[in-house]
C-alpha cells in the first residue's frame, strides 16, 4: 500500500487532555451520550483514561474504567486476530478455499455457478456476502432465509445460520467488490473447524487468554459491571428495549437488538457481533498489534492486516478508505478531512463504540460508549478524533 503524506505524519503529536475532556463533557451535557470510557495510548504509554457519565442512568451507576460493554462489531478485530494466529501457525492459508474446512458452506453466484471463497475475502468483507440489517425491508433475501446478524435473540446455532446464509446467492464474485457482511461469522466457523473446539474456547486460547483480556468473552455473568444500552433520542437517549429495531443507515430495515443476548451462554458465538468486553482489553489488543504483534503474531502478519485489500477501491460512504483484514485502512486523509495519518486503522461497533490506531504516530484510541449510534458514527466520534490530534473540531485539513 502506498503511503501518502499528511500533516500528522510530519508534525509530532502532543496530546492535550483538556481538549478530550471538553469533547466528552459537551457530549454528556447535550445528552448525546449517557456514558463513555475513553483511553488513549501514545508511544506505548497509556496517556489518557477517563470514565464519564452513567453506565446505568436509571440505577445511578457511574461509568467506570472497567465497565463492560456489548461489543457488536468490535468483536471483528478480535476474531480476525484469532484467524491470523492460525495463519501464522501454518494451520490456515489466507488464499485457500474455505470449503476445505466448511464443505457444506457453498453459496452460489446469481447465475447458479459455484464460487471459491477464501479466508482473505472473509476477513476483508470481499466474499460477496451481506447483512440482513442492510436490506431495504423485511422481505429481502436474508430476511426470508431467516438469517441472524448475531445481534438478535435467535435460538439457532452458528451452523444453522451458515446453512441459511449459504442458500442466498452471493452479491458478486468473491474478491471483485466490497460489502459489509456476516463474513466474520463465517470465519468464526472456520476457526472452530481448524481448532476442533467452540469459537469461544478457540478465541480464548488464541487471543484473549495469551493477552490476559479477562473481560472479553461471548457472554458475561457479571451483570453489575455491564453497562445499560441506550439509543440516541431527544431530549435524551432512551433505554434500548429487547427486540427494538434501530436502523443503522438510511433506507435500511435496521438491526433487531437483543441486549439480553450478552447474558445468554446458549446464544451462538457470532464472530462479527457477539462479544462482551472492556475498553482496557481492546486497548491491550490494539497496542499489541500496533507494536508488531508479539506475543501473538509476527510483524509481517500484522503488516498484512494493515494492508488495503480493496485494490484502491473506497468503502461506501468512506472516501479515501479501503479495508484491511479486520478493519478499515485510511489511504487519503484529505479525502475525509482527517488529521489522521495515512495507514490509520479504524472501525467501531453498533452499540456505540469507535476505535482507531495511527501507526505513524504510535497512537491508539478506544472510545466505548453506551449510546447508539452517537458513539459509533455521530459527532462525538469526529470531535474526539480532532481533540486527540489537537485540531479544533471541524478544522481538520
Report residue 58 as a C-alpha cell: 436509571
Beta bridge partners of 345: 329, 357
Shortest CA distance to 185 belongs to which of 316, 76, 264, 286? 76
Q: What is the DSSP letter of 74?
A: G
Q: What is the DSSP letter of 205?
A: I
Q: Residue holding cell 508479539?
A: 294
Which residues are CB-neighbours of 363 under 8 A, at least 6 positions away?
13, 40, 41, 42, 357, 388
Q: Cβ-count burial of 266 within 10 angstroms (0-12 exposed, 13-18 middle, 19+ buried)?
A: exposed
Q: What are the phi and psi torsion angles at 159 (to 5°)?
A: -65, -40
Shortest CA distance to 271 belongs to which of 139, 61, 123? 123
Q: Report yes or no: 40 and 20 within 8 Å, Cβ to Cβ.
A: yes
Report residue 259 as a C-alpha cell: 441486549
Active-site residue, selected from the candidate residues 6, 8, 41, 73: 73
Q: How far apart are CA 166 and CA 146, in angstroms?
A: 12
Q: What are the phi and psi torsion angles at 239 (to 5°)?
A: -65, 135
Q: How far apart are CA 259 and CA 231, in angstroms?
A: 12
Q: Report yes or no: 148 and 132 within 8 Å, Cβ to Cβ.
A: yes
Q: How far apart are CA 267 and CA 225, in angstroms?
A: 20
Tell me, yes or no, if 73 is annotated catalytic. yes
Q: Report yes or no: 128 and 179 within 8 Å, Cβ to Cβ.
A: yes
Q: How far apart are CA 328 and CA 125, in angstroms?
A: 10
- DSSP H helices in 124-166: 141-144, 158-165
So which residues are the catalytic ones?
Answer: 73
Amino acid at each position: 500500500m502506498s503511503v501518502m503524506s499528511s500533516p500528522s505524519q510530519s508534525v509530532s503529536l502532543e496530546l492535550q487532555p483538556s481538549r478530550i475532556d471538553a469533547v466528552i463533557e459537551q457530549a454528556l451535557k447535550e445528552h448525546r451520550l449517557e456514558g463513555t470510557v475513553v483511553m488513549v495510548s501514545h508511544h506505548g504509554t497509556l496517556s489518557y483514561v477517563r470514565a464519564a457519565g452513567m453506565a446505568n442512568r436509571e440505577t445511578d451507576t457511574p461509568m467506570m474504567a472497567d465497565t463492560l460493554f456489548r461489543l457488536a462489531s468490535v468483536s471483528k478485530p478480535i476474531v480476525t486476530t484469532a484467524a491470523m494466529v492460525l495463519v501464522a501457525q501454518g494451520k490456515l492459508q489466507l488464499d485457500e478455499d474455505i470449503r476445505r474446512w466448511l464443505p457444506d458452506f457453498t453459496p452460489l453466484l446469481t447465475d447458479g455457478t459455484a464460487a471459491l471463497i477464501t479466508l482473505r475475502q472473509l476477513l476483508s468483507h470481499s466474499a460477496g456476502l451481506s447483512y440482513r440489517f442492510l436490506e431495504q425491508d423485511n422481505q429481502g433475501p436474508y430476511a426470508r432465509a431467516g438469517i441472524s446478524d448475531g445481534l438478535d435473540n435467535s435460538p439457532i446455532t452458528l451452523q444453522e445460520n451458515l446453512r441459511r446464509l449459504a442458500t442466498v446467492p452471493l452479491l458478486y464474485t468473491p474478491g471483485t467488490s466490497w460489502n459489509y457482511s456476516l463474513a466474520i461469522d463465517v470465519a468464526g466457523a472456520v476457526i472452530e473447524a481448524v481448532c476442533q473446539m467452540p469459537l469461544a474456547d478457540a478465541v480464548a486460547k488464541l487471543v484473549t487468554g495469551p493477552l490476559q483480556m479477562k473481560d472479553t468473552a461471548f457472554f458475561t455473568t457479571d451483570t453489575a459491571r455491564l453497562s445499560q444500552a441506550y439509543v440516541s433520542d431527544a431530549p435524551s437517549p432512551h433505554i434500548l428495549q429487547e427486540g427494538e429495531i434501530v436502523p443503522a443507515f438510511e433506507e435500511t430495515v435496521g438491526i433487531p437488538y437483543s441486549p439480553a443476548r450478552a447474558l445468554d451462554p446458549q446464544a451462538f458465538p457470532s464472530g462479527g457481533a457477539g462479544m462482551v468486553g472492556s475498553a482496557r482489553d481492546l486497548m491491550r489488543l490494539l497496542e499489541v498489534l500496533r507494536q508488531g504483534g508479539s506475543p501473538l503474531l509476527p510483524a509481517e502478519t500484522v503488516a498484512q492486516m494493515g494492508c488495503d485489500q480493496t485494490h484502491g477501491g473506497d468503502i461506501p460512504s468512506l472516501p479515501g478508505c479501503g479495508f484491511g483484514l479486520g478493519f478499515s485502512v485510511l489511504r487519503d486523509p484529505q479525502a475525509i478531512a482527517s488529521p489522521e495519518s495515512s495507514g490509520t486503522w479504524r472501525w467501531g461497533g453498533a452499540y456505540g463504540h469507535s476505535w482507531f490506531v495511527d501507526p505513524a504516530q504510535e497512537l491508539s484510541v478506544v472510545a466505548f460508549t453506551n449510546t447508539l449510534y452517537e458513539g459509533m458514527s455521530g459527532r462525538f466520534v469526529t470531535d474526539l478524533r480532532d481533540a486527540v490530534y489537537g485540531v479544533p473540531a471541524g478544522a481538520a485539513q
